[in-house]
Structure formats: structure tokens, C-alpha cells
Amino acid sequence: MKYLFLLIFLLSISGYATTAATVDDPQQAAAWFDKGKDLASMSNYGEAISAYDKSLEYGNKDEAVWLEKGKALAKLDKYAEAVKSFEKAIEIKSDDIDAWTQKGDALNWLGKDNEALDAYDKVLELDPKNSVAKLKKNIILNLHN
């Protein structure tokens, strides 16, 4: 029995055990990100999300991976998860207009109108002439009048 424990211990320290740790490999990170975009373009959103997760596992630190993951989640009506993904993108790049707009859209789908309005206001703060954010904000405001 003690040899079994010793064998398990030796295997675990020798690299045979699998871990979910992040490994920095920029080439793999980029390849998985590109695969995710390709899958999303073919409406394979679940597989795209898995590819984006692999890109993150390989150390992708770009806000775009979180943005694209959020878009794929939203396509699957997973709006709460999408909001979290958009927030990660915004954490990395606070002036990402697309991330703020997508966050507003997901919050709107969740019925969180005040939070959606805040997101659209942030878009307008970053880009005062953004007609999309103005339109979406007006739609929400008109629904409550």
C-alpha cells in the first residue's frame, strides 16, 4: 500500500498529473483565440467559448478574448455570464466602447435597465456622438414613460 502512495506521489510531481494552471504560451493563446473567432463566425458558440477558455488558460491577457467570450455567451442567452466576461474586458481596458455597449445590451436582456443605462452612459462619456448608445438609451427610457 505504501508503494501505491509513493507511486502516486512520484507521478504527481513528475508531470503526469494534470492541473488547470495557466501556462504562458502566446502562440497557443493566439491560436485558440483565432479558433474561437472562427467557431463563433460559424455560430458554434459553445465550442467558441471553450476555445476562448483555452486561450485564457494559455495566458491570453488581451481584453478581446473576454469581449468575444461575452458575445458568444450572449448568443446562447447566458447574459449573466456574458456581463461577467464584459466586465473582465473592461477591467483590462476601461475605454473599450464595444465592451461597455455589449455589457449594456446584456444587462438590458436581464431586465437591469438602470445598470444598462449606466453602461450606455459610459459609452457616451467615451464617445459623445455614439448614435448606437444614444438609441439604446432612448429605447430603455421610452419604455418606462
Q: What is the pLDDT of residues 24-38, one digit of tens each?
A: 999 999 999 999 999
If you average pLDDT over every residue of the chain, what do you get? Answer: 90
Cell 466602447: give the residue: 97
Confidence of residue 1 (pLDDT cuts 50, 70, 90): low
Conformational region of residue 130, where left means phi above 0, alpha means psi within -120 to 50, and beta covers everything else = beta
For the stretch 30-78, pLDDT in tens is 999 999 999 999 999 999 999 999 999 999 999 999 999 999 999 999 9
Quote the pTM value: 0.83
Confidence of residue 14 (pLDDT cuts 50, 70, 90): very low
Structurally, at CATH architecture level, domain 23-143 sits in Alpha Horseshoe (1.25)
pLDDT at 12 over 90: no
Domain ranges of the chain: 23-143
